[in-house]
Amino acid sequence: MSPEKPLRADARRNREALVAKAREIFAAGDFDLRFDDFAKLAGVGTGTLYRHFPTREALAEAVYREELTAMVARAGELRKTHPPAEALAAFLRGVVDLMYSHQGLARTLATLMSPQVDVLAEGDQTLGRAVAELMTAAAEAGAIRADVGAGAVMLAVQGICTTAEHPSSRADADDIITVVLDGLRREAAP
């Protein structure tokens, strides 16, 4: 894949307007909206929409990638500003919050993505690396056990995320993260 050319300022603004409007629409769960309507709602022409995003799938992927980038940046910020165990806890709770607040995007991606598209797998790997870095820092600080890998924590988070369509499960999701964090804590020395 060749690197993308930098966009002109007006083209960048149009792309950002499309992604921002799509984020709102996906969050609202508006699945009946025609693809061309994204352009009108973002205040750009239909040709601009298709030039940046030839399909609804491409637009949903762009929104997802931006959310993922923001989450990874958040992990880095938490590492700099919080003790390691607190950073891990805040990040895991943030991932769950994001899933509950972006149910429309998750459903859109699930319904639009073909099996050949591995953007979700890439996203899982990216999040897994962020969790692993946070866990390593917490283990090195002696705050959590070192014998549990990020994969196990990611499985728990993914399991929680499968229930995001059920608003009544939100409180339980927080409880599950608490159980995961409690299970990671190092036992006090006898």
Between 181 and 32, where is the model more confident?
181
Domain boundaries, the chain: 1-54, 63-184
**Confidence tier at 2 by pLDDT (50, 70, 90):** very low
Instruction: Compute the distance between CA of residue 64 and CA of residue 66 in angstroms, rounded to an integer.
Output: 5
The CB-side HSE value for 83 (13 A sphere, CA atoms) comes to 7
**Token couple for 95:** 């991932």
Q: CATH code for 63-184?
A: 1.10.357.10
Give the bridge partners for 164, in sequence order: none
Q: Evaluate whether 106 touches 99 at the Cβ level (below 8 Å).
A: yes
In tens, the pLDDT along 29-48 reads: 766 788 899 999 999 999 99
| CA proximity to 123, closest of 46, 63, 167 | 63
Residue 143 has pLDDT above 90, yes or no: yes
Instruction: Compute the distance between CA of residue 128 and CA of residue 151 in angstroms, rounded to an integer.
Output: 7
User: What one-character-per-residue DSSP string does 81-149 give?
Assistant: HS-HHHHHHHHHHHHHHHHHHTHHHHHHHHHH--TT--HHHHHHHHHHHHHHHHHHHHHHTTSB-SSS-
Poorest-confidence range of 29-33, 82-86, 126-130, 185-189? Answer: 185-189
In tens, the pLDDT along 63-120 reads: 988 989 999 999 999 999 999 999 999 999 998 888 877 777 776 676 655 554 577 7
- On the question of a common fold for 1-54 and 63-184, the answer reads no
Q: Which fold has domain 1-54?
A: Arc Repressor Mutant, subunit A (1.10.10)
**Token couple for 56:** 């609804």
Average pLDDT over residues 130-143: 96
pTM comes to 0.82
Q: SS3 for 185?
A: strand
